[in-house]
């Protein structure tokens, strides 16, 4: 920390008094970061859990703090890793900015609204959007927008570039930060099949591969992003968090791991901590079951998504195109223009509610139903009976159910019912994430990394790490076809080995 300009101390509800580098404070004080104050961390969860009022803003500060803490702990415990102050600062900035790209109500926007907004585009819009997009809407991720928003933040706040130079950050450091935010290389080095021996990142060399596991760990999902939101979400939801991230930091060290004739450095845990890591992933599963995928949470989120879809083409956000000309962007288009996207937050629903426009009447009515707790009706739900059952897509189920509707209704089936496919896992699909992790023994000198199987930890651990539940929600006040769809859903469940609750 610069003794002349020592940054600021934040009194965080989870981590206590948190001191951040002055450069991070300057990033926090930009409009692009302040936008996160108006994006709920748990989307529709606030409508179910009254305490879940926290936002992406405080979560991002928490991740920045934990990212720096882990990097500093590794530096202190293993000086030979040559972790520099620049490395630590880059990791902190990435932790701070990793969620800049979230849209209204967090994952509701990228996982529910954007894919369906793409499907509902008319042909004229599709032609225009294909030219404007770098990626298909269905493939769009908030991580991509986070990188774009970070770059836009630097361009709009030129004094930050000066401060970065004063902190001796160079172009490769900015690349490193973006790679950390994205959790993967910014681009493939060539169109040829990747050679596993090639190091894909540009920000840091292979000798610092472990730094890429701190903010967004693609290998096993053990990263400071989860440490913060597990602790923060449990606190605000009133649930117990069984995982102690401070203990995790104490028992980690970086060790070279040889795999497929390659040796790269990974963050490894003490062998005795394997049970604690299972607690981490059990907490993840429990949060999904009790909060993120709660049947009423999903109900509210479907309604917000439907309202945004109804309002999509009727609410516009002003931004400048590449030629610096003013243009207006719909809700789904705003992600392609960071100036417009900066204005897009949860407050878009308030804008709909306060409007008297006839074009927004349908969207307004849906949001009014949420306010009066006149929610969609959960018709039925069912769980896969066999852990080996075939993975089903939402589109497959929907297409089978809508055939029982009359033709004129079938074309507008989204106004009548919706199928929600809920997948529960420990974060690595049907794999055990702990078996994707590396451990070391206390008395090993030098320590060697190894993997631990579930059976070595305990016979009480789960055998299956993935399951699906499907739910059928009825949206329309008109229940003429309610029973036909419900009966078809029952038949579908029987044929596909899903057991109704």
d(CA 373, CA 392): 31
Which tokens hold the place of 182? 């994205």
On whether the CB atoms of residues 138 and 332 are closer than 8 A, the answer is no
d(CA 204, CA 102): 26
Count Cα atoms within 13 angstroms, Cβ side, for 327: 17
Look up 413 and say whether it is catalytic. no
How many other C-beta atoms are found inside a 10 Å radius of the C-beta of residue 379?
17
Closest residue by Cα to residue 40 from 26, 58, 22: 58
Q: How far is CA 109 from CA 27, 40, 288, in A?
A: 24, 11, 17
Q: Which of 59, 118, 142, 413 is catalytic?
A: 142
In three-state secondary structure terms, 427 is coil
Instruction: Compute the 3-state secondary structure of the chain and give helix, strand, coil in percent, each to the nearest 5.
Output: 50, 15, 35
Q: How far is CA 410 from CA 405, 407, 481, in A?
A: 5, 5, 11
Exposed/middle/buried for residue 76 (C-beta within 10 Å: 0-12, 13-18, 19+):
exposed
Exposed/middle/buried for residue 1 (C-beta within 10 Å: 0-12, 13-18, 19+):
exposed
User: Which amino acids are annotated catalytic?
Assistant: 142
């Amino acid at each position: 920390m610069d003794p002349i300009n020592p940054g600021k101390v934040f009194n965080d509800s989870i981590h206590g008094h948190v001191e951040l580098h002055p450069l991070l404070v300057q990033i926090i004080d930009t409009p692009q970061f302040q936008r996160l104050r108006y994006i709920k961390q748990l989307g529709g969860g606030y409508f179910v859990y009254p305490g879940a009022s926290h936002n992406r803003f405080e979560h991002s500060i928490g991740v920045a703090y934990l990212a720096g803490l882990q990097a500093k702990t590794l530096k202190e415990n293993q000086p030979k890793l040559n972790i520099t102050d620049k490395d630590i600062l880059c990791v902190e900035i990435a932790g701070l900015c990793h969620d800049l790209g979230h849209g209204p109500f967090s994952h509701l926007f990228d996982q529910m609204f954007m894919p369906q907004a793409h499907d509902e585009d008319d042909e004229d819009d599709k032609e225009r959007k294909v030219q404007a997009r770098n990626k298909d809407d269905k493939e769009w991720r908030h991580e991509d927008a986070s990188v774009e928003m970070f770059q836009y933040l630097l361009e709009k706040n030129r004094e930050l570039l000066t401060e970065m130079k004063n902190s001796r950050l160079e172009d490769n450091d900015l690349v490193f930060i973006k790679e950390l935010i994205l959790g993967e290389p910014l681009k493939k080095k060539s169109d040829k099949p990747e050679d596993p021996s090639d190091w894909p990142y540009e920000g840091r060399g292979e000798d610092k591969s472990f730094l890429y596991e701190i903010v967004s760990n693609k290998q096993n999902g053990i990263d400071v992003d989860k440490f913060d939101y597990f602790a923060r979400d449990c606190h605000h939801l009133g649930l117990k968090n069984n995982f102690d991230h401070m203990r995790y930091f104490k028992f980690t060290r970086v060790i070279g791991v040889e795999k497929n004739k390659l040796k790269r450095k990974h963050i490894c845990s003490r062998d005795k901590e394997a049970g604690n890591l299972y607690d981490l992933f059990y907490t993840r599963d429990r949060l999904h079951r009790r909060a993120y995928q709660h049947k009423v949470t999903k109900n509210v989120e479907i309604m917000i998504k439907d309202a945004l879809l109804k309002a999509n083409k009727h609410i516009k956000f002003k931004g400048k195109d590449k030629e610096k000309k003013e243009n207006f962007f719909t809700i789904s288009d705003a992600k392609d223009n960071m100036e417009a996207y900066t204005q897009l937050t949860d407050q878009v629903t308030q804008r709909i509610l306060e409007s008297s426009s006839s074009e927004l009447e349908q969207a307004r009515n849906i949001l009014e139903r949420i306010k009066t707790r006149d929610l969609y009706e959960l018709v039925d739900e069912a769980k896969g009976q066999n852990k080996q059952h075939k993975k089903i897509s939402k589109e497959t189920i929907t297409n089978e159910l809508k055939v029982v509707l009359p033709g004129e209704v079938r074309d507008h089936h989204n106004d009548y019912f919706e199928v929600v496919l809920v997948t529960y896992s420990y974060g690595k699909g049907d794999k055990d994430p702990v078996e994707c992790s590396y451990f070391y023994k206390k008395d090993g000198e030098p320590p060697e990394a190894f993997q631990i199987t579930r059976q070595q930890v305990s016979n009480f651990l789960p055998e299956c790490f993935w399951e699906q539940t499907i739910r059928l929600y009825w949206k329309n006040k008109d229940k003429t076809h309610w029973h036909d769809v419900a009966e078809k859903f029952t038949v579908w469940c029987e044929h596909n080995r899903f057991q109704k609750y």
